[in-house]
Amino acid sequence: MLTPGSQWVQNLMMDNQLRYSSHTRLEDFGEQSQNTLLKSSVLIIGAGGLGSIASIYLTTSGIGQITVVDFDTIDESNLPRQILFKADDLGKNKALITKKRLIEYNSEAIINSIDKKLSEDEMNKVISHVDIVIDATDDLESRLMINKICYNLKKPLIVGAAIRYEGHVLKLNNTKDNNSCLNCLYSSSDENLENCVINKICYNLKKPLIVGAAIRYEGHVLKLNNTKDNNSCLNCLYSSSDENLENCEGNGIMSPVAGMIGSMMANECIKTLIGINNNKENTISIFDLKNNIYQKINIPKNMKCSVCS
């Protein structure tokens, strides 16, 4: 939480009663919840399609302090879905431009920006000073590092991803020792990612490949032909490298999909801060917005997980 005293918060609320009246009229929200948001601090890692949308709604919803981390620069292909940015921003750092725009939306919010790639120690220090983390990154290595730090520091974590017409949102509580974590879902040492090496060899040699996996009560079987050049391979499903960034460039994304997933991440963040419990913790919500299909999948704790077990 932010350090300013309660008098500071009360004065700010009195000045902004009309601004946040749509919130405070909610039956399960009220002025106390808005005060909580004003005293809260949020870290957004990644200012792309998801992070930029989440940052707008969190800023305009009255979060007291937001820190945005992104070392990347803005290019023209970002503009359709990363709506904080304009054509004049091309080539500039995303975090710095995000800070500038968010201050325009809410000059009373404290907005910080970090325009470099953080080491694990640096990330640990930044996360230790916030109340909640939003992971809007686009590579598995970063996600697993953020997950590990948040779990160890007992910080709530909201994770989102979007590609093509699909997206997912995952809320991890991290305050309870018996909860699962992102590493339970997939890790860099996962057997499926190791299978990608075998997949590469079989694809190059045009050898058919049968892949199987089983855990708890679930399992899957995948047959890959590999004899035709236009066939997919295991790497199309998941890869040990930037699984979302490469797919966005190769397969595209419908702009409103990023907007919806980013908005949901902001909504989950607010609900977590004010204590609304809807039993969606450690549950991944998956959206197919082409066919309007929604699924929820519980993430059970992996008793062999290197992070939370």
What single-letter DSSP state applies at residue 109?
Answer: S
The two beta strands, 166-172 and 157-163, are: antiparallel
DSSP one-letter string for 77-88:
GGTTT-TT--GG
Q: Which domain holds residue 234?
A: 189-239
d(CA 63, CA 264): 16
- Report if residue 303 sits inside a domain: no
Say if residue 197 is in the same domain as residue 105: no
- Report if residue 202 sits inside a domain: yes
Q: In the structure encoding, which two tokens stand for residue 206, read together?
A: 């045009």
Give 10-residue mean pLDDT values along the chain (309 residues).
53 69 85 90 95 96 95 92 94 96 94 95 96 91 90 92 89 80 64 56 77 55 72 55 45 88 94 81 84 84 77
d(CA 266, CA 57): 6
pLDDT at site 216 = 47
Give SS3 for 218.
Answer: strand
pLDDT digits (tens, 9 = 90+) for 27-37: 888 888 899 99
Number of folded domains that form the chain: 2
Q: In the structure encoding, which two tokens stand for residue 101, read together?
A: 């725009």
Domain of 100: which CATH number? Answer: 3.40.50.720
Angle (nearest 5°) at CA 129 between 108 and 152: 145
Say if residue 183 is in the same domain as residue 202: no
Say if residue 89 is in the same domain as residue 207: no
- Count Cβ atoms below 10 Å from residue 191 Cβ, excluding itself: 10
Helix 255-274 and helix 49-60, axial crossing angle in degrees, nearest 10: 40
- Report if residue 263 sits inside a domain: yes
- Report if residue 305 sits inside a domain: no
d(CA 107, CA 182): 35
Say if residue 232 is in the same domain as residue 86: no
Nearest alpha-carbon partner for 184 in 159, 211, 206:
159
CA 93 vs CA 61, 113, 117, 247: distances in Å: 25, 10, 12, 22
pLDDT at site 241 = 42
Name residue 285's beta-bridge partners: 169, 296
Say if residue 49 is in the same domain as residue 198: no
pLDDT at site 293 = 87
d(CA 170, CA 227): 37
**Confidence (pTM):** 0.78
Structural contact between residues 78 and 250, judged by C-beta atoms closer than 8 angstroms: no
pLDDT digits (tens, 9 = 90+) for 60-115: 999 999 999 999 999 998 899 999 999 999 999 999 999 999 999 999 999 999 99
What single-letter DSSP state applies at residue 234?
Answer: G
